Amino acid sequence: MNKLVINIEYDGVVNDPIYKVEDKYTLYMRTRDKNVAEKCYNNLKLEYQAEKQNAKFKESSVKMVNRRKVGMTHYYLKNTSTDELVDAVLKSSTKPKHKQKYRNELVKRGFDMGLINQ
């Protein structure tokens, strides 16, 4: 699991701890100031949540009238019906990373994943 954490490290030279903000693959910050590390951690968490909240089901489309752009239609996961998400998970042509995104949305809605054969 790729979880964001603050790790504390001590070096042999200075008694002050070093705070590292990192996840499984990336080191975001090393600092001796705990407040700075916590602020960075909180900002990264908020950024991740905003990114997750605006997840799309498919690309947005443009509505054109007389060769003029009139409006946009956005297809967010939160607005997609449960039936459409289940169909997308069961389709063999859906990419694995999208299938996981759709499964996460179904679990968030309280859908029983035992009904879907993986």
Q: What is the pLDDT of residues 39-95, one digit of tens each?
A: 999 998 888 777 667 788 888 899 999 888 889 988 888 888 999 999 999 999 999
Model confidence over 22-35: pLDDT tens digits? 988 888 899 999 99
For 50, which DSSP code? H
The pLDDT score that the predictor gives to residue 40 is 92
Provide the pairing of β-strand 18-22 with 27-31: antiparallel
How high is the pLDDT of residue 116?
67
Residue at token pair 């954490």:
5
Q: How far apart are CA 80 and CA 37, in angstroms?
A: 37
**Nearest of 101, 57, 103 to residue 80 by alpha carbon:** 57
